[in-house]
Amino acid sequence: MFTRRSDFEAALARFAGPGRRAVVMTMGALHEGHASLIRAARARVGAEGLVTVTVFVNPLQFGAGEDLDRYPRTLDADLEVAAAAGADIVFAPPVEEVYAGGEPRVRMAAGPMGERYEGASRPGHFDGMLTVVAKLLHLTRPDLAFFGEKDAQQLALIRRMVLDLDFPVEIVGVPTVREDDGLALSSRNRYLSARERSTALALSRALSEGREAGLQAARALHSPASLGSADGAGSPPGAGPARVASPRTVRAAARAVLDAAALLEPPLVLDYVALVDPSDFTEVADDHTGEAVLAVAAKVGDTRLIDNVRLWFGVA
């Protein structure tokens, strides 16, 4: 593990093998979701490649009243998870190493795409996120960078930044890892009481119900033999998501589950449920064809959670 930039850069310089470099950026509190990213990185670069994991709780992406001080810091456990999953180097710098002159005076701006949904709920969050991602891409100099699909808007913005600003790196999205009950893995799950967790399961149920409603609508329009299953089998090559139909039906089915969860004790307090184009995170029209993301965010007690599922509207 390296905490100083100079030591980390020296370690990178010593890597002179023929393999490619990959990075997995984290804020620590590593769990199986992070491990899946590291394993995906190792698989892509192979034994001759270099996999770097960064552990840095970025203060720029926490707004007023958010949980910067509360955010879990478990570095010793993180090192074990990273090593077991196949990381070669862990770079865990303190704030003063990343922002040596204090908070940066020049930052990335997420633009209109970063002001919707998560950006509307957390003003400035995506500017801070893109700033540190850009900085860490420069420091780690990877060929590939791996991010989880659970943070769908974050992934979309990173891809947009890399495209618009010509970063020489491939951004790889890795599917969401879920716990046995369907809850998307998150470091914030540890804050949920048993009753709060029961309510929180409405998020993944809403996504499942929305997807199933879309599949049923597709089956009503087309031969079942031509359709993909709910896990994405039979989707267009390279697309991954399940083939569905009727954005209106998908939205209504998901919303019904979330509305019911608002009546539970403790209640689910919905922030948003949206069916968006992943290229710009705008709501899709009722006649949309192609890929879309059904995304949801809500609070249960004091814990805010997000989740999403990828869908494909239309049948080739």
Q: Which residues are catalytic?
A: 34
In terms of Cα–Cα distance, which of 281, 222, 292, 223 is closest to 251? 292
Which residues are paired to 269 by β-bridges?
Answer: 299
Measured CA to CA, the distance from residue 62 to residue 151 in angstroms comes to 15
In terms of Cα–Cα distance, which of 278, 263, 273 is closest to 310? 278
Expressed in angstroms, the distance from the first to the final Cα of the chain is: 49
In terms of Cα–Cα distance, which of 316, 259, 266, 254 is closest to 291? 316
